[in-house]
Structure 1
């Protein structure tokens, strides 16, 4: 009986699995005829069951999921997680609530922040705190 052969290893493995053989028990066979190479498959013998106390793993150990940190949300904006650069900008803004965008951008180089990120965080911080417009107290004076 002529065994069926395939042009790719993947096709031979797929045929073995389709025949009901578990993927780990499909053995790929190589059939050469001159320059022509084709692939077949056969079922390997099942390995002996491991001792009851031995544990066999076939993959990487799973990482434990980090605990979910609840972030405060106000006015549709979530406060950044502690420890990042965004949180550092927010902490600075909390300490300087009367700061303008110009003040915040001026503080960026001395703290190692990107000025464009500071601008984004400034406006997110204002929205979080419900500051929508400058009031008469902190509005710039017009000549």
Structure 2
């Protein structure tokens, strides 16, 4: 089970305090991996923390100090989904300062229709959009983007 991690030390400490751990008993853990550095937290053992603090005072000697107990197990919380590897980006075709939409979306469907049927006027595209379930305003915006992509300045006269 993986521990919940945070982007900043302060966020990890804030989460520990919100979980009910006293601020002086919060220990910040550092997690380094391929994605960068993240921070977690665990609760220190109160008795071990007090004994360690006493051992570090100038009046304490090695014979007077108590043995330090092993730290308590880390507080583990998992609320995030595991990260998936990003799909490789396919460069999109660009002409006249306009990029062609990625395949699979509603915008790409409008562009495919326009590729097959050529340039048309907005009044001719609106009924097609309604028939195919496209948002009419979005279909018109895509028409204007398609025209600019193709280098057309006006609709073809019928």
Same fold (TM over 0.5): yes
Q: Does 1:9 align with 2:17?
A: yes
Q: Offset at 1:106? A: 1.5
Secondary structure at the residue paired with 1:125?
Answer: helix
- 116-125 or 67-76, which deviates more: 67-76
Q: Distance in 1 between matches of 2:146 and 2:22?
A: 56
Structure 2 counterpart of 1:111: 132
Q: Deviations over 1:47-82 (max 9, x none)?
A: 69xxxxxxxxx6643211122121111111110110
2:111 is matched with which residue: 70, 79, 90?
90
Q: What's 2:85 paired with?
A: 64
TM value normalised by structure 1? 0.59
Please give the secondary structure, in 2, of the residue aligned with 1:80: coil
Give TM-score, length-normalised by structure 2: 0.54
Structure 1, unmatched stretches of 5+, are 1-7, 29-40, 49-57
Maintained 8 Å contact 2:43/2:72? no
Change (3 A) 1:99 1:61: same
Tell me the C-alpha RMSD between the 2 structures.
3.4
2:54 is aligned with 1:45 = no
For structure 2, list consecutive stretches of 5 or more residues without a partner in the other structure: 1-15, 30-40, 53-68
Q: Which residue does the alignment assign to 1:124?
A: 145
Residue in 2 aligned with 1:81?
A: 102
Secondary structure of the structure 2 residue equivalent to 1:67: coil
Aligned equivalent of 2:55: none
| Native 8 Å contact 1:25 1:45 kept in 2 | no
CA–CA distance in structure 2, aligned partners of residues 21 and 102 of structure 1: 63
Alignment partners' CA distance in 2, 1:120 and 1:97: 16
Residues 27, 127 of structure 1: alpha-carbon distance in 2 compared, 3 angstrom cutoff: farther
Alignment coverage as a number of residue pairs: 107
Higher helix share: 2
| Cα distance in 2 between the residues matched to 1:116 and 1:68 | 29
Contact 1:13-1:26 at 8 Å conserved across structures: no
